[in-house]
Amino acid sequence: MKRFEEKIAVVTGGCRGIGKAIAMRLASEGAKVYALDYKIPEPGEVFIEDAALAPLITPKQADVTSFESIQKVTDEILEESKRIDILINNAGVTRDNLLMRMSELEWDQVINTNLKGVFICTKVMTKPMMSQRYGRIVNIGSVVGSMGNAGQANYSSSKAGLIGFTKSIARELGSRNILVNCVAPGYVRTPMTDQLTDEQKAAFIVNIPLKRVAEPEDISNAVAFLASEDASYITGQVLHVNGGLLMD
């Protein structure tokens, strides 16, 4: 039997990049996955190239910064599937700038999506988990939440806040058999990082002991572990997946 057979999973930011890789990994192990995103594929557009996985992954439009939007999509999921077993809080944005140049809007956009969005999704979707007395929540953080990064005060703050949120909610929900953990990626190959110049990429890699960037699948492997029964006695933890860039 596959590890996520008969499990219902929700992945925010699930239609591209790391989120899509996570959705595909969970589906490959039997989960029925709802991929929430602000922008979803157009009707008829090929979203999942693997024909075996495509029927298991349903894209749904949602705005993680809106309680109303998340409550609406959660109600739809519960109407269709009756439960939510796994929540992967992956949706995130960047608005990089030096502090002296960073606008209030750039600060608010990142905090609202990356931190408030996790609060909203977790608050709404843990209600069915509490009734079930079962749930697995994995928040996607970042190495810069622990080490900081010039030009990313907003992003680093949002990901550092996510660590505190993860540990606090793990303590609140543990008695209901709901595990809450965080995966903190380092430099990952995504459409966003593909836009960097070769010089910029080389500057990142020189500080990584493994001398390569992560693929989205490297992150989805860690997420799948924490969402599975193999991690049934792990909660409130941050799993760094960064090739050795940061060693705690």
Which residues carry out catalysis? 155
**Contact status, residue 241 vs residue 214, Cβ threshold 8 Å:** yes
Number of Cβ atoms within 10 Å of the Cβ of 46: 8
Tally the C-alpha atoms within 13 A of residue 70's C-alpha that lie toward its C-beta. Answer: 25
Number of Cβ atoms within 10 Å of the Cβ of 28: 18
**Contact status, residue 65 vs residue 117, Cβ threshold 8 Å:** yes
Closest CA to 33 of 52, 54, 2, 62: 54
Residue 23 to residues 14, 27, 35, 208, 213, Cα–Cα distance (Å): 6, 6, 7, 27, 21
For the sheet with 32-37, list strands across it.
57-61, 32-37, 8-12, 86-89, 135-140, 178-185, 238-241
* Residue 47 buriedness (CB in 10 A; 0-12 / 13-18 / 19+): middle
Residue 86 to residues 42, 111, 125, 130, Cα–Cα distance (Å): 26, 23, 9, 12
The single-letter DSSP state of residue 121 is H
Determine the distance from the C-alpha atom of residue 241 to the mean position of all C-alpha atoms in its chain, rounded to a whole number.
Answer: 13
